[in-house]
Amino acid sequence: MIVVLSKNISPRAKELIHSYLKDRGFSVREQSLGDDTIIGASGKGAVDTRELSILPGVERVAAASKPYELASRETRAEDTVVTVGGASTPAVKIGGSRITVIAGPCAVESREQIMETAAMIRESGAVILRGGAYKPRTSPYSFQGLGMEGLEYMKAAGEACGMPIVTEVVSPELALQMKDLTDMFQIGARNMQNFELLKRVGSLGKPVLLKRGPSSTIEEWLLSAEYLLVSGAKDVVLCERGIRSFESYTRNTLDILAIPVVKGLSHLPVIVDPSHAAGIRAMVSSAGLAAIAAGADGLSVEVHPRPDEALSDGHQSLYGVQFEKLMRDIEALAPVVGKELVRTPGKYGK
């Protein structure tokens, strides 16, 4: 059960709500959710919710009908807007009436490659730089990423071009090491239900991009978001990237309807990765536009200056000109869905 507190609650009233719940057998946890302060009450306690809801300082009691509470729209009706970066790079928002585009290579391959890609995507209007330094690969013989060195290159590229960065974290130990170098952690599809990783990353309080597991239901995905939120994350963005089906013409099956479903169930922003869904360059842009038309809050797109030379996922990475065209198409589509494409003003701004 979630108790949403009034914005102007006094410390005394707050204390009384805490003891009211504890006296009735609940363990309580106070935290912020968007611009709300909430108390999560769990355990075997019993309470008269009508009595609780009229205590001074209680805005609302949300007895969630779903197994996830913090991620649920029943707890927070407004769209959550997540902020990424803002220290050494501009702050970028995801959610609400915006379309935010994240782009970059599948993996950081060298200082030159990430610098070149960052400048290219920034010029076309991407506002967050993506790239893997630790790559979870199906084969142990495939390129595994440059590790911390790659992350240093990426941070430098983001700072040079004025873009916050997002990169995948694959273990709880690495999360601590990477914390000060990345603006946003990505939890990859394969790790969506790595609960120890979710708990550790959540506890670091940084923004998190949570990809949907290839075989996960929407409820499992939202429960993974719940792990992050209950562990301390405030800025969680969901990312649909295709699920596994019997179809083999595409790498994965883009679950386009997951977007409106999740937007109905949760207040968290939802973006789409059309690159890993399609797996084929020629289909990436149309899948991305379809996602925007279906209500996605943004995209994460793989782009490489020379896809044929890419060390991973080259066949699904866009050339610079294709990405430029996709950005122009998104800009044209945005007003149709009542949104605006986020641009970073400045040197590369359009």
Binding site for ligand PEP (CB under 6 A): 106, 132, 188-190, 211, 241, 273, 276
34, interface contact from Mn ion, ligand PEP, none, CB < 5-8 Å by kind: none
Q: Which residue's entry shows tokens 């977007």?
A: 259
Rg of the chain over Cα atoms, rounded to whole angstroms, equals: 21
Q: Which is nearer to ligand PEP, 190 or 325 (CB)?
A: 190
Alpha-carbon distance values, 307 to 98, 106, 138, 288, 320 (Å): 29, 10, 20, 18, 10
103 part of the interface to Mn ion, by CB under 5 A: no
106 part of the interface to Mn ion, by CB under 5 A: yes
CA distance 5 to 7: 6
Among the candidate windows 3-11, 99-107, 181-189, 196-204, which touches Mn ion by CB under 5 A?
99-107
199, interface contact from Mn ion, ligand PEP, none, CB < 5-8 Å by kind: none
CB 194, min distance to ligand PEP, A: 12
Determine how β-strand 92-94 pairs with β-strand 82-84: antiparallel
DSSP 217-233: -HHHHHHHHHHHHHHT-
303 part of the interface to Mn ion, by CB under 5 A: no
CB 187, min distance to ligand PEP, A: 8
Residues 6+ apart with CB under 8 A from 101: 125, 126, 127, 128, 298, 299, 301, 327, 330, 341, 342
CB 334, min distance to Mn ion, A: 26
CA distance 213 to 190: 6
CB 269, min distance to ligand PEP, A: 17
189, interface contact from Mn ion, ligand PEP, none, CB < 5-8 Å by kind: ligand PEP
223 part of the interface to Mn ion, by CB under 5 A: no
| 319 closest CA partner among 328, 333, 311, 308 | 308
Q: Which is nearer to ligand PEP, 76 or 241 (CB)?
A: 241
What residues line the site for Mn ion (CB under 5 A)?
106, 313
